[in-house]
């Protein structure tokens, strides 16, 4: 595993996780790509998460962000991570359920909604 990815957790074999560093087709999600620089993009991600009551920031360091997302109905906790790639405009992302087998696509929808918001704000190109 690359040193740049040593902090992000891999997805388990169950279909309740997506990650831009996954080799598995069903788990893979495209990373975020910054319009300017990855540090500004990860700061914007943090601001977005702080404005959403379903997220709690757990760890925030330059180039890395970890949060917990609580589902509205049943209160399940999912782990969400973002990490900049060294010398790149790319921000890798991961969202995975802590419990259960299937998430019915919730983790993918969560990250795609965030991507859509960041693209609309012209902070991410995809």
To which H or E segment does residue 40 belong?
helix 38-50
In this prediction, residues 67-83 reach a mean pLDDT of 89
Beta-sheet pairing, 90-97 with 32-33: antiparallel
Return all residues near 126 (Cβ < 8 A) that are at least 6 apart.
30, 32, 33, 115, 119
Identify whether the C-beta of residue 68 lies closer than 8 Å to the C-beta of residue 78: yes
The pTM assigned to this predicted structure is 0.90
Interval 16-48: pLDDT, tens? 999 999 887 889 999 999 999 999 999 999 999
Given this model, what pLDDT does residue 6 score?
58
To which H or E segment does residue 84 belong?
strand 77-84
CA trace torsion 51, 70, 123, 119 (10° rounding): -120
Domains of the chain, earliest start first: 16-120 (3.30.310.80)
Number of separate helices (H) and strands (E) present in the chain: 2, 6
Identify whether the C-beta of residue 124 lies closer than 8 Å to the C-beta of residue 48: no
pLDDT bin (cut points 50, 70, 90) of residue 9 is: confident
């Amino acid at each position: 595993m690359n040193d740049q990815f040593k902090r992000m957790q891999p997805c388990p074999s169950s279909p309740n996780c997506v990650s831009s560093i996954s080799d598995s087709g069903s788990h893979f999600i495209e990373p975020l790509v910054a319009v300017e620089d990855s540090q500004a993009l990860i700061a914007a991600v943090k601001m977005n998460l702080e404005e959403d009551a379903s997220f709690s920031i757990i760890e925030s360091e330059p180039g890395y962000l970890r949060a917990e997302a609580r589902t509205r109905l049943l209160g399940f906790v999912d782990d969400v991570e973002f990490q900049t790639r060294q010398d790149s405009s790319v921000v890798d992302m991961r969202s995975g359920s802590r419990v259960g087998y299937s998430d019915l696509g919730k983790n993918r929808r969560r990250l795609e909604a965030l991507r859509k918001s960041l693209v609309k704000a012209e902070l991410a190109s995809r």
